[in-house]
Amino acid sequence: MRALQIAGTGMMAQQTNVEVISNNIANMSTTGYKRRRAEFADLLYQNVRRVGSQSSETGSVLPSGAQLGLGVKTSAIYRIGEQGSLQQTENRFDLAIRGNGFFQVQLPSGEIAYTRDGTFGLSAEGQVVTAEGFLVLPGISIPAAAVDVTINAAGEVLAKLDGQVNPQNVGQIQTAIFANEAGLEAMGENLLLATPASGQAQLAAPGQPGHGQMLQGFVENSNVNVVQEITNLITAQRAYEMNSKVITASDEMLSTLSRMR
């Protein structure tokens, strides 16, 4: 009985849906997190009577045919790049991007990762690093004698030194944009890696065409909408229950057949 297998694929699909929703809810307080959405596609169809085939020797053609669907599968889990709300932190090294773009981070392996999490600080050498201690490119060092640091909307890092009137420009943070942000590969710790699907990173100063502006003393919150996620969770739960009822009904039908003599 095909209904058992078809309903089984439906339950597996809704299980995946619930897992995606639960990950969104779990990360509702994660800085820079972008919510995900599961997408599904129907499986192959079995042709009982192929549409368009001849139904008689006179050349008459079947107008619709008969196709039986075999269930559903997960086709993709998309990342929704909608801007999250901005939260003021009063930390002078916390940064947020208002608009498109990612910060560049150099991993210990030498790879370049990308993130929207601008929770930064200083290393023992005075370099701007992430919360995990990874270097924020292009590798900006703050002088030890700096009494204040300002990062403007264009990403320029200006350090005010003790005894000097004019601040010193010690570097500029660039942002990266991609032709297909959904093609970036998540690796955890709020970091993403470029893939052939995302295309190469296009670097420019914040505020340039296609690149958002930099905000000092802010971080970007998760863009998860809890009310929407709970609604999606209830819908997925009901779909799961309906598929389980199909399995129960199919089992009862098979039980009836097994009792026939």
- CA angle (141, 142, 144) in 5-degree steps: 125
pLDDT (tens, 9 = 90+) of the chain, 261 residues, equals 788 889 999 999 999 999 999 999 999 999 999 999 999 998 887 777 777 677 666 767 767 767 788 899 999 999 998 999 999 998 999 999 999 999 999 999 999 999 999 999 999 999 999 999 999 999 999 988 888 999 999 999 999 988 787 889 999 999 999 999 989 999 999 999 999 999 999 999 999 999 999 999 999 999 999 999 999 999 999 999 999 999 899 888 888 888 876
Task: Supply the pLDDT for residue 52.
Answer: 65
Residue 97 Cα distances to 85, 144, 217, 254, 261, angstroms: 11, 27, 11, 59, 73
Task: Supply the pLDDT for residue 45.
Answer: 78
pTM score of the predicted model: 0.83
Strands (E), 93-199: 95-98, 103-106, 112-115, 120-122, 128-130, 135-136, 146-151, 156-161, 168-172, 175-177, 185-188, 191-193
Residues 6+ apart with CB under 8 A from 125: 141
Task: Supply the pLDDT for residue 46.
Answer: 75
Tokens 């008459």 — which residue?
A: 60
Task: Supply the pLDDT for residue 227.
Answer: 95
